[in-house]
A and B are shown apart, each in its own frame.
Chain A
């Protein structure tokens, strides 16, 4: 026999369950705009029917349902889309940071414009031409000195600005490393909390959301692989378990970042610890970044062939901009350290350019005659170390001993040993430096106008470039910058689009639709009302039984 109050119980369960469904709806609506929130739903489950199959079951025809219960509160999410999203996210992180640092460099180089290095060189060239036409003119001479100063200042400005931004990127690397460590710690904390909840059969949905959001954030920095481990105890079959997170490098190397409630903090090999938390977050004081330290493992940025071994992502983008180093063997089998990177490369190119320009200028200048009829005893540009171009762009400057009359504009002196004031042939030579063929210069002596000869050949070569002209080498630098930046911009926008698409798919599954929630609200409300009405009906039925029966004949 079924219990008299069975119907009441069933209806009550209906009311309770619909009510909790309304609460979940409320939670969804409240969090419609919460970043990283996954919509939740109640899995309604019909409760066990009566009677259950057993030896002493009552002999009634068929089983009678006993109502509904809220089986579980589940996140509506598809983990495959998370995988895709994270895969795209590290590409976006990588290209974005590259595009950023290249855009900053473009701002500094400021080409094509009327204020960049090429226009400073152009103006200098013009002033030398003016000097060649009016070599006896004091004004023309002082303009050359001023413009020469402007050229060296432009070199120094470019070099300083680029070093400055490189330092900023170094700080950004520090901030990123700190951020990564903080994310790793948070994930391991959340893992711990989850491992405390899941064994009891509960689904800590908000913790799951939090953890997924953190993994998303982590995936900007590099490519991560998530491995799921089941919690102990009696977890719900829907439980998402504990995340173990690995960094996966392109060479197949995998390193644990998070293992349950533990994590391996990352640091920079040879770097400095800015805040005393034990991880070396800042790049080394001298030299570039060679390797990362993760837990006890060393991850070299590049191998001996220069192939980058760190996973793509924002961190690698930043390190490639800032510059990294690796050890390789030279022809003689000795270890040499190579320095690579967007900023170090540009500094190197500028150094080469400044050195080449300054060295050729000094050499040509030395061959001429100043107003006193002598070869100049002072270099025009100083700050250039013989044979070593490193740092030339930062150090090149106009010799402050230079005076108007010391400017060697002439190519000859007359029979009395006096300079011919109207001879401006060496000024012409000086004006031609920008376009001198470097391959010829390093091959042997080169004759100039007015019977002058310069010799910049030597072994090892005295000039860091081996071909082209100063002008064409500079054009090549700007061209490469443009191509690199263009590529970075294009790939940033491509990977942003891809990530956006995946994210849209993900949101399509997981985000809250207000309309949908309203419809659910109405659904649950009506079901709740109907359950209540059901009670009324059962009540009336009972009323009949209790108060209306056995009164026959009254």
Chain B
């Protein structure tokens, strides 16, 4: 084939620009650390990329939801621990008062302490984390326990106990389609009966009354303590389950990240090798260009 200078230089120009284009692609891969930057580079990778990113976002979000679940459960547990201690102290005091050896003013001070503990229980029931009350079912913006002094009377003359009966579960989505209840049944633990019993206990311990049998009260207290312990056991089991699920979601995150990375991340060894290869091709063609364009027959005549 007859080859002319203009063909050589046109070809050279075309090859050099192809080479630059490849360099551009490689440097793009280097900078973005990604195999592809647009769908046409590899439509399958692009489509999968969207799906993998979506599932990674999901997994990461579920992980974030776990934080909130722990918040609920750990704080509920701590609150219930306090409540247990308060109830046990009340039981201790009641036992003491029940054996009949206490003087009037001693009984009075026991009554005072129980009163304090009762208020303490109310405060625990109204535990608030952030802007939500933990023990009011899903009605998180209102305190579950209001006035429990027993001094407010309704139209029939019966004392009013402002204790919430809301036990709607608060459920968080912690895995695709898996909803875990995170609140405890405040209605059971801090019930109207509890405060009623405590008030009557305090009443029975007033200094003018002596030798009142407190056996029923102790029984009531025991049953309250039991309810509380049951609820704590439930929460403990839930916490365990949470940890298991969290482990699994961590694993899922690793998997999702790995899948995404395998799908779209550039293989750096390959990119660098490509770069070096391309660089040498570039050098060679530039060198060639410099050699082929210059000389003509004229340079060798005369």
Contacts and interface: CB of A to CB of B under 8 A. Distances in A.
Interface of A: 32-33, 102-103, 106-107, 109, 111-112, 118-119, 122, 125-126, 129-130, 132-134, 136-137, 410, 412, 414, 418, 420-425, 428, 431, 434, 449, 471, 474-476, 478-479, 481-486, 488-489, 500, 504-505, 507-509, 511-516, 518-519
Contacts of B183: 422
A89 to B, nearest CB: 16
Given A474-B50, A514-B5, A111 B39 contact: yes
B168 A513 contact: no
A142 B150 CA distance: 42
B59 to A, nearest CB: 11
A136 B68 contact: no
Contact of A485 (B38, B57, B65, B139): B38
Contact of B6 (A420, A481, A512): A512
Contacts of B301: 518
Nearest to A371: B141
A112 B264 contact: yes
A467 to B, nearest CB: 17
25 contacts: A118-B53, A118-B54, A129-B64, A130-B64, A133-B64, A133-B68, A420-B139, A420-B166, A420-B168, A421-B138, A422-B139, A422-B141, A425-B171, A478-B43, A479-B43, A482-B47, A488-B40, A500-B14, A507-B4, A512-B4, A512-B6, A514-B4, A515-B5, A516-B4, A518-B301
A514 B296 contact: yes
A134 B50 CA distance: 28
B40 A102 contact: yes
Given A112-B49, A507-B7, 17 more contacts: A106-B38, A112-B39, A112-B50, A118-B50, A118-B53, A129-B64, A414-B138, A422-B138, A425-B171, A475-B50, A476-B47, A483-B40, A505-B1, A512-B4, A514-B298, A515-B5, A515-B296
Contact of A508 (B3, B14, B44): B3
A428 B58 CA distance: 12
B173 to A, nearest CB: 5
B256 to A, nearest CB: 13
Contacts of A106: 38-40
Nearest to A500: B14
A489 B41 CA distance: 9
Contacts of B137: 420, 422
A109 B43 CA distance: 13
A88 to B, nearest CB: 15
Contact of A122 (B54, B172, B173, B297): B54
B57 A133 contact: no
Nearest to A35: B6
Nearest to B7: A507
B7 to A, nearest CB: 5
A476 B38 CA distance: 15
Nearest to A102: B40
Closest 3 CB pairs of A and B: A482-B39, A482-B43, A485-B40
Contacts of B4: 507-508, 511-514, 516
Interface of B: 1-7, 10-11, 14, 36, 38-44, 46-47, 49-51, 53-54, 57-58, 61-62, 64-65, 68, 130-132, 136-142, 166, 168, 170-173, 179, 183, 264, 296-298, 301
Contact of B43 (A129, A137, A483, A519): A483
Contacts of B39: 106, 109, 111-112, 478-479, 481-482, 485-486
Most-contacted residue by chain A among B14, B68, B297 (CB, 10 A): B297
Given A112-B53, A125-B61, A507-B7, A489 B170 contact: no
Most-contacted residue by chain A among B11, B137, B170 (CB, 10 A): B170
Nearest to A130: B64
A311 B95 CA distance: 103
Contacts of A134: 68, 130, 132
Contacts of B14: 500
Contact of B139 (A122, A418, A504, A513): A418
A332 B248 CA distance: 57
Contact of A511 (B6, B132, B166): B6
A130 B68 CA distance: 9
A290 to B, nearest CB: 30
A424 B39 CA distance: 37
Nearest to A118: B50
B5 to A, nearest CB: 5
B40 A482 contact: yes
Contacts of A484: 40
Given A33-B6, A103-B40, A122-B57, A518 B296 contact: yes
Contacts of A512: 4-6
Contacts of B138: 410, 412, 414, 420-423
A257 B179 CA distance: 72
Contacts of A102: 40
A126 B139 contact: no
A485 B36 CA distance: 14
B297 A514 contact: yes
A103 B140 CA distance: 52
A130 B10 CA distance: 60
A133 B180 CA distance: 11
Contact of A422 (B41, B132, B297): B132
A105 to B, nearest CB: 9
A421 B50 contact: no
Contacts of A119: 53
Given A420-B138, A421-B140, A514-B297, A414 B54 contact: no
B46 A136 contact: no
Contacts of B7: 504, 507-508, 511
Contact of B46 (A412, A425, A478): A478
